[in-house]
């Protein structure tokens, strides 16, 4: 039963509506119960209408040939690109393979591109992720790690939740607790509004299993920050 439950993406469920006998994680992206009632085309049509109203409220002339197609372009971008990670069917099929070569050290995939959007202001979060795991008998294709980061990034996010979602998915896929995730990003909601600080970055981490050991964790960090960190973005 547990194996079947592990295959289910719960991102569209209202956790408050699930019975107490189900121990599901609270790190899921907050979604309404009817989140998947509309088709992509229906969502695009609704967002187009709403964004047109926003532009008109701002005083823009949508009869101008440069602006007339913007509401639909924005709507398609939201549904098909920026927030495509909200759809469970877009989750990557992360195949794993037997660790036939008995590789027992950590594997580190570093400098993975992170492109997400802050759920508070819908402005970009841009940076990199460093991900590591120690095999418990299975290994994963390297590009699938990138795909997992991309999938969870393509949602309205807070960085803390994004970090945990990536870690939990890797633990599930690899059937291993020995996972580390470090995300280092710039938030344009900080750079472009409010305090308007374009120089700061935000780092979040999640260490589980063997990575809770200081020596193992320090080894991961040495790999992650090898080279010039100023070339991150």
Tell me, yes or no, if 119 is annotated catalytic.
Answer: yes
Tell me, yes or no, if 168 is annotated catalytic.
Answer: no
Residues 6+ apart with CB under 8 A from 83: 117, 154, 155, 156
* Catalytic hit among 121, 160, 177, 219: 121
* Catalytic hit among 130, 150, 165, 187: 187
pLDDT digits (tens, 9 = 90+) for 205-221: 999 999 999 999 999 99
pLDDT digits (tens, 9 = 90+) for 141-198: 999 999 999 999 999 999 999 999 999 999 999 999 999 999 999 999 999 999 999 9
**Multiple choice CATH, 94-231, 3.30.1130.10, 3.10.105.10, 3.60.70.12, 3.40.50.80:** 3.30.1130.10
pLDDT digits (tens, 9 = 90+) for 116-131: 999 999 999 999 999 9
Element spanning 166, H or E: helix 159-174
Give residue 114's Cα distance to chain centre. 8
Element spanning 108, H or E: strand 106-118
Tell me, yes or no, if 120 is annotated catalytic.
Answer: yes
Tell me, yes or no, if 219 is annotated catalytic.
Answer: no
Q: Topology of 40-86 in CATH?
A: GTP Cyclohydrolase I; Chain A, domain 1 (1.10.286)
pTM of the model: 0.86
Under the banding of pLDDT at 50, 70 and 90, the label for residue 227 is: confident
* Catalytic hit among 119, 160, 177, 219: 119
* Catalytic hit among 159, 165, 169, 206: 159
Write out the residue limits of the CATH 3.30.1130.10 domain(s) in the chain. Answer: 94-231
Tell me, yes or no, if 187 is annotated catalytic.
Answer: yes
Write out the residue limits of the CATH 1.10.286.10 domain(s) in the chain. Answer: 40-86
pLDDT digits (tens, 9 = 90+) for 43-70: 999 999 999 999 999 999 999 999 999 9
């Amino acid at each position: 039963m547990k194996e079947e439950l592990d295959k289910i993406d719960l991102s569209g469920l209202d956790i408050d509506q699930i019975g107490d006998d189900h121990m599901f994680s609270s790190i899921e992206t907050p979604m309404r119960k009817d989140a998947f009632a509309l088709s992509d085309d229906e969502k695009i049509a609704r967002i187009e209408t709403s964004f047109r109203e926003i532009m008109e409220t701002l005083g823009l002339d949508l009869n101008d040939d440069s602006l007339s197609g913007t509401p639909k372009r924005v709507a398609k971008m939201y549904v098909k690109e920026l927030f495509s990670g909200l759809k469970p069917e877009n989750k990557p099929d992360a195949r794993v393979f037997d660790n036939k070569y008995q590789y027992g050290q950590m594997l580190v995939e570093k400098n993975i591109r992170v492109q997400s959007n802050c759920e508070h202001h819908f402005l970009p979060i841009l940076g990199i992720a460093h991900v590591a795991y120690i095999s418990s008998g299975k290994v994963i294709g390297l590009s699938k790690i990138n795909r997992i980061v991309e999938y969870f990034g393509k949602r309205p996010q807070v960085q803390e939740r994004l970090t945990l979602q990536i870690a939990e998915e890797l633990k599930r896929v690899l059937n291993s607790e020995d996972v580390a995730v470090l995300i280092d990003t710039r938030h344009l909601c900080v750079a472009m509004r409010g305090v308007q600080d374009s120089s700061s970055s935000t780092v979040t981490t999640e260490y589980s299993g063997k990575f809770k050991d200081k020596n193992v964790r320090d080894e991961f960090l040495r790999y992650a920050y090898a080279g010039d960190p100023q070339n991150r973005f």
